Structure 1
């Protein structure tokens, strides 16, 4: 049985070796919150050991984020720094890889007007359109790994003190990421091979429609005739294999954009930009979301 610290170090190694699959001479860009600085330093060390030329870190701070959303003027949320968007695009075109340490604080922005969050999201999406197009098409390597925040940990373990809650959440995260195994990298190779087998089986079936039924959910999704199932990881424009999400059990394809019909209901709360949405449903007609309900966070 390895120590938690050893498992966290192996998790950092997985982020670099399996998630991003850093190549010699490559630049790694890390986006992470300040309270995960120790974990980010482990990631940087693993990246340099793998041959990375630069590790650039963009830090995020909950208090500054909340301060801006509560105090800045409305027009601030309709803008996104073009110099930052240009920088990300320049690094992407130079074959940089991008790693996000996902560490949310649920309810961080619960007192913020949803219109501000929406405006900021649209401004970001517009400014970063070219960069995100490269990411979404798999032209560049990118990955997301999770790490605890104090707020997230105490939301999951409400009866524990902050330090104990963070430790418990770390234990679950490293287990889910297979970082507690004797050979985590080999465990991931085995897992990805199994996921590929699932994708091959689904591609052989050539299903025309998927049907989902569960409490509150009755949904049909038609598939395009030439759809392809993909699982686990993909190859970027240079042929480097990377895994966008650690952990992942993902097996996915593309729906027919005009043939999604019915209602899908949530089974877990959704943290969206620091606001919780819970017990919600979305109804689709011919691929368009036409109605939504939520017990918590409907405006968001």
Structure 2
């Protein structure tokens, strides 16, 4: 076994989740990530934790979606989640386009059925990570070996140093009432964040981490945004997304590629037409776009926004939580002709933060 796999497992167990004696742990990984599952099981055994291994297959999930006339909440799965202390989930299947032929309406219906189950999982200690596979390497335009280096270099960052660097942005956002994002001619968006909390993602729930994120007030988003980097969703690429918001709601949308898939996401439920997250990428180790949102949204010269559900910990007691069966992140490249303003003060210009050299 590559020693970096064991190191990956140790970072998950020590830094991301704090697995300890007596913990009931669900390890949900694709078959391609079995070595990581083995390493995690060894750690659980060493510590007296109790693992359950779920082999996640996107091929099997696709078959279920395409053959079902309707979806019901899987109560047995929810029962497992209710009894679980720690979840470890990894991406890394063989075929990243496995579910490309599932229609948007089916995906939306499936997500609605899974909404409460997903909410239960997110209430526990969890970590989402990536196992480097040939399929994801191909999507990123990299050799398998180069992609392995890329993933494990990003995972094994000095997370305490990253936390300290990002803490400066957390402090700025926690005192903020309004954030304005301007980029090129297509993005000028104002977000009310008053009363909401900014969180420091330093490799815990997401591994790798590397962002500071908050939620906009549900009705407090106005203006237009051009997401000029593509995203991969349900095995298909959505490119050139443009959204216009009024009173927090998407009132018009367009995409240069797979607009039908974007429309299906926005039509999932009432909450999927509102923003649940504003994230600011701050991980300088992630220096290239790979069509993998777990990495791409952390790039240092980007911001991302998610239509759909908000993380409850980011929403203040006086504000409403945006709820949805969807949470779809989309990215704006902030490296050129771009600024982030917080309460009228520029805090990032062309990707460089006010507290960095060269601002």
Residue 217 of structure 1 aligns with which residue?
187
**Within-5 A mapping of 1:31-180:** 31-49=28-46, 51-70=47-66, 72-75=67-70, 78-91=71-84, 96-103=85-92, 105-126=95-116, 128=117, 131-132=120-121, 135=122, 139-157=123-141, 165-178=143-156
Structure 1, residues 177-211: CA drift from partner, whole Å, max 9, x if none? 226xxxxxxx22232233234323443xx222111
**Contact persistence 1:270–1:277 (CA under 8 A):** yes
Q: Tell me, yes or no, if structure 1 residue 200 matches structure 2 residue 171.
A: yes
TM-score, normalization by structure 1: 0.78
Structure 1, residues 228-275: CA drift from partner, whole Å, max 9, x if none? 322126xxxxxxxx8111111111223121110112222332222333
SS at match of 1:296: coil
Residue 357 of structure 2 aligns with which residue?
none
Residue 12 of structure 2 aligns with which residue?
15
Count, aligned residues: 259
Structure 1, residues 33-67: CA drift from partner, whole Å, max 9, x if none? 11111122112223333x14211111112332333
Question: Which structure 2 residue ranges, 5 or more long, are not aligned?
Answer: 262-359
**Contact persistence 2:58–2:99 (CA under 8 A):** no
**Contact persistence 2:5–2:35 (CA under 8 A):** no
Stretches of 4+ aligned residues off by more than 4 angstroms: none
2: CA distance, partners of 1:82 / 1:31: 18
1: CA distance, partners of 2:44 / 2:251: 45
Structure 1, residues 61-105: CA drift from partner, whole Å, max 9, x if none? 2332333334x1422xx22321111221232xxxx1111112264
SS at match of 1:151: helix
Structure 1, residues 109-140: CA drift from partner, whole Å, max 9, x if none? 222211111111111114x16514xx2xxx52
Q: Tell me, yes or no, if structure 1 residue 26 matches structure 2 residue 6.
A: no
The answer to which of 117-126 and 274-283 deviates more is 274-283
**Contact persistence 1:22–1:52 (CA under 8 A):** no
Question: Which structure 1 residue ranges, 5 or more long, are not aligned?
Answer: 180-186, 234-241
* Cα distance change, pair 129–249 in 1 and its aligned pair in 2 (3 A): closer
Residue 238 of structure 1 aligns with which residue?
none
**In the TM superposition, what is the alpha-carbon distance from 1:299 to its structure 2 partner?**
1.5
User: Could you say which structure has the greater relative contact order, defined with CA pairs below 8 angstroms and 6 or more residues apart?
Assistant: 1
**Contact persistence 2:89–2:128 (CA under 8 A):** yes
